[in-house]
A and B are shown apart, each in its own frame.
Chain A
């Protein structure tokens, strides 16, 4: 294995970890507020087509990212209104959002199939971004750096800000937070919108950076891996980063298996690997009490105040 090969592989790993990192960070905040949104996959697809479409129409990828974030947040509000406003079942509503997002993105994507979008270009000098070694640090899409910045930002928000404290309190004991005088639903609406925006950006990374073009169901279940990642990380932002890279390695295996001499097993095995490992890792993690104790106590439960 040559150095170039290894560097190319690492760049790939960082790239394909980015969407699950983004969506995972968003879902982490949602879950910390006590809500389980299983619609990540659907919001990602909506973000993917919205970002793509906005870029095609404006010619500016930054507008695309904003469009993806807005579309993700908007679609998450559909979930929020049902779950928070009408107390519907969170699991089923999240699933509905995923099914909806899948269908809607296919329909909206019809007229964008086969189109090409403007790329971001490099935010660093081209000599660095194309340099055989420095590209490790400077050769990524701006979204990658944004995702990396969001890790300490989310960690800091949850741990050290008053808003973060209130958000954790709402997820820990919604009835108590309500009785002290905090608006549980307001906090949760905000958290869900943030989660939606992050999932939207994660989605547009597929259609604007990885391929870059629009294809139906192009997120291929990564939204679900992002959900598993939150459990894997024990609801901690720092560990989410480590987890995202771990899954990034597994996902890269499918792409590099042949080149790396792993072709003794069929390619489908390597394609299934991230999903198999997700289950294995969940089994290893979930049985450990120390991880579970960090799970928000109200996760997934309906909020029913008595007054």
Chain B
């Protein structure tokens, strides 16, 4: 039997970057094939070429043994290639049915389509209500729309791009069941991820990319997580060095009964949030994307103001009613998840970006006028101390790579010596080297006696970084727990909550029992 998909010598160049360099591998019918690599390794570029979004500069793609050129996604779908993107292509204000209809190339009457959808859903055990508006659905349910949309085309190859980054551990289990069922029926699956334990649990073969090159194709069941990680990263892994025997001081940041109404039509509201972070403590907030993490960061940074001044205190000072500027002066710094356009202005120089958050604390303003020389000096120090790869303080923030910009932003806040630092998704989309540097900087700041809050969807990151952990779900925060001796299963249950799907509680209990 010929390979379902065979790539030979695929090469893709962008101005200044070789995204894919002579990549060759093959996927058998019914095989679950992992594409493993760090952010920026070239996985996304590669699958975009398989799905017809981009064309390779060199190399050959064979489909069921025949050489072909996949000119666009429509042609890919016609061939039987389906794709579920990491970032969903959904329309919030429309119904599930309308969303699926938009993704279908064939014109099928709405009623007929609904029947087909119900068939596919019952076949694979996917639960969705076709007439619900997408904005009311959980992230897991939204992913199901994308999966149903792909399955309706009866695919021979299904590409899944980082599908589990938005799911609870229980939802991951459900997804794997669906994928195994599909594979058993002969559908090949190309599974993109950087989560090693998932690949070991699910995949038959793994192709590992690093810096645009193919490093190895192996059987993940024969490899250890560490050996695959080393191939993925190249060289040994560096562990975070936490100074032993750290002592925690008194409570610095205290949040109590913090409630914030949802922002806009689709925003999540915060309900009665309460936690305390001591000096020297790293406090993690876990949760699936879209459960109020953003609202929480805004409420802590002062970008949204609470009705109650006492809801947030720092060393006893009421911060709740203060804005972002005043809170910074009191020593509370923050780093939001989105770097471009929120933490930094991409069209501004790094020096101007330093003025954005450091101007008051570092006295860069005299009688309303800005001392730009001070901003330049400070920026140069940040660049040096945090090894930011940039030409200088005059570089545009938007010209930096994700990791370098994040290092600059972290440095900009940390070098202001905040007594509390709130940071969201500190290493999202950042390469391993920069991630390690950022983690080390967070640990070092804590060691100097600052209280730190880390909001992240990456549970592994929180478990390795934090002392204490709480879970946010639908705007409600769980009681905190010690990371040492934390029960992953229980964290997973908290992350799932009782969100959207009425059948979820039972399946979660079953899943918990199964382990």
* A and B touching (Cβ–Cβ under 8 A): yes
Query: What is A's interface to B at a CB cutoff of 8 Å?
Result: 162, 165-166, 168-169, 172-173, 175-177, 179-182, 289, 292-294, 297, 307
CA gap between A119 and B507 in the complex, in Å: 73
Main secondary structure of the interface of A (DSSP, over half): helix
Whether A179 pairs with B85 at a CB distance below 8 angstroms is: yes
- Please name all residues of chain B whose beta carbon is closer than 8 Å to the beta carbon of A177 when the two chains form the complex: 89, 91, 102
Instruction: Please provide the chain B residues from 44 to 97 with a CB less than 8 Å away from any CB of chain A in the complex.
Output: 48, 53-54, 72-74, 85, 88-94
- Please name all residues of chain B whose beta carbon is closer than 8 Å to the beta carbon of A179 when the two chains form the complex: 53, 85, 89
What is the count of residue pairs linking A and B with beta-carbon distances less than 8 angstroms? Answer: 50
- Please name all residues of chain A whose beta carbon is closer than 8 Å to the beta carbon of B98 when the two chains form the complex: 165, 169
Query: What is B's interface to A at a CB cutoff of 8 Å?
Result: 48, 53-54, 72-74, 85, 88-94, 98, 101-103, 105, 107, 265
CA gap between A227 and B107 in the complex, in Å: 34
Known: A165-B102, A292-B265, A293-B265. A173 touches B91 (CB 8 A): yes
CA gap between A169 and B134 in the complex, in Å: 13
Which of A168, A172, A180 has most B Cβ within 10 Å?
Answer: A180
Known: A168-B94, A181-B72. A162 touches B107 (CB 8 A): yes
- Name A180's contact: one of B89, B94, B265 (CB within 8 Å): B89
- Please name all residues of chain A whose beta carbon is closer than 8 Å to the beta carbon of B102 when the two chains form the complex: 165-166, 169, 177, 180, 182
CA gap between A169 and B102 in the complex, in Å: 8
CA gap between A179 and B161 in the complex, in Å: 14
- Please name all residues of chain A whose beta carbon is closer than 8 Å to the beta carbon of B105 when the two chains form the complex: 181
Known: A162-B107, A293-B265. A181 touches B74 (CB 8 A): yes
Whether B53 pairs with A307 at a CB distance below 8 angstroms is: yes
CA gap between A177 and B91 in the complex, in Å: 9
CB pairs A–B below 8 angstroms (7 shown): A162-B101, A169-B94, A169-B98, A172-B91, A177-B89, A180-B73, A293-B93
- Name A172's contact: one of B94, B101, B265 (CB within 8 Å): B94
- Name B93's contact: one of A172, A175, A181, A307 (CB within 8 Å): A172
Whether B89 pairs with A176 at a CB distance below 8 angstroms is: yes
Known: A162-B107, A166-B102, A169-B102. A181 touches B90 (CB 8 A): no
Which residue of chain A has the shortest Cβ distance to B266 in the bound complex?
Answer: A293
What is the distance, in angstroms, from B136's C-beta to the closest C-beta of chain A? 12
CA gap between A177 and B88 in the complex, in Å: 11
CA gap between A181 and B73 in the complex, in Å: 7
Known: A165-B101, A180-B103. A297 touches B92 (CB 8 A): yes
- Please name all residues of chain B whose beta carbon is closer than 8 Å to the beta carbon of A292 when the two chains form the complex: 265
- Please name all residues of chain B whose beta carbon is closer than 8 Å to the beta carbon of A294 when the two chains form the complex: 93
- Please name all residues of chain A whose beta carbon is closer than 8 Å to the beta carbon of B90 when the two chains form the complex: 173, 176
Given contacts A179-B53, A292-B265, A307-B54, 18 further A-B contacts (CB under 8 A): A162-B101, A162-B107, A166-B102, A169-B94, A172-B91, A172-B93, A172-B94, A175-B89, A176-B90, A179-B89, A180-B103, A181-B72, A181-B73, A181-B105, A182-B102, A293-B93, A294-B93, A297-B92
Whether A297 pairs with B54 at a CB distance below 8 angstroms is: no
- Name A289's contact: one of B53, B88, B91, B265 (CB within 8 Å): B265
